[in-house]
Amino acid sequence: MTRANSQLSEYINHLIVERGLSKNTTSAYLRDIERFLIEQVIDDLSLVTPQDLERFIATARSRGLAESSIARSVVAIRNVVEFTCKEQGVLNQVKDVKPPKIKLRLPKALTIAEVSDLIAAAKSPGNPQALRESAILELLYGTGARISEIVALNVNDVMKIDGGEVSSLRLSGKGGKERVVPIGRYAREALDQYLVRVRPNLENADREALFLNDRGGRLSRQSMWKMVADAAKRAKISVDVSPHSLRHSYATHLLDGGADVRVVQELLGHSSVTTTQIYTLITIDKLRENYANAHPRAK
């Protein structure tokens, strides 16, 4: 093992043990940094220079890598260098190197009518898994959960009030951070239908997992993606629809309805309100459009 690989191993261990980052996050950091070490032939992370990073950025662009991916890599490299330099008590030469600027892309939200059509399409008579798909779509839109959070749900994450009625979900977000989100009537009823009429009929079912495939195992991320895409196709929705579209729609519709941005931040599990504020730009655009169409002196 080279000195740089040993330093990287220490850093990854620090992320997992001391900062409690998830396996997916640390794996992404590891891939980015390892590619940098190989391409730039780095033997010691404490000796990385701005020129090393500039060459890495140029190489990544020549390969057609997206600016967002390059920026993520640069941040990961800069962080591991900072950690290594602190550990060794030496000067960090790349602390002022900025990652490429990424053009702000506003998330696309579905209209309320499109969400209704999407969920209705999951209930189509020709769909044998209609109750399961309806419950998943209702939860994606009704809680704003990430698809990974829905996949990871266990039966005991469904929280009930004294009367036995489902009231909320316990979600495990990025970095293992847990949050509890309320469930509205539509999602509550759809989930109850799935739990009573579908899940008990699966043989050899996984006792823990909430959403199961036909063999009784935990439903996969890929299966949920396909489920949403198929429902969108049946609903004849022209825009691209993914599970994340429902998360975007959840946030946008909450803000349109007057919800406080910090409440929406908590519901989405964002660590910073800055991330949530991206959605406020969408609502401001709608206000401008309505103003332009309605006010006699707007044009």
- Burial class (CB within 10 angstroms; exposed 0-12, middle 13-18, buried 19+) of 204: exposed
Q: What pLDDT sits at residue 104?
A: 63
Is residue 43 within 8 A of residue 36, CB to CB? The reply is no
Domains of the chain: 3-88 (1.10.150), 112-290 (1.10.443.10)
The answer to whether residue 270 is catalytic is: yes
Q: Which of 188, 199, 218, 270 is catalytic?
A: 270
Reply yes or no on whether 247 is catalytic. Answer: yes
pLDDT of residue 220: 92
With cut-offs at 50, 70 and 90, classify the pLDDT of residue 295.
low
pTM above 0.75, yes or no: no
What's residue 234's pLDDT? Answer: 92
Q: 38-47, 63-72, 96-105 — which is least confidently predicted? A: 96-105
pLDDT tens-digit readout, 182-195:
999 999 999 999 99
Catalytically annotated residue among 146, 188, 199, 218 = 146
**pLDDT of the residue at 186:** 93
Whole-Å CA distances, 60 to 73, 94, 105, 180, 221:
10, 18, 21, 40, 29
Mean pLDDT, rounded, for 264-271: 88
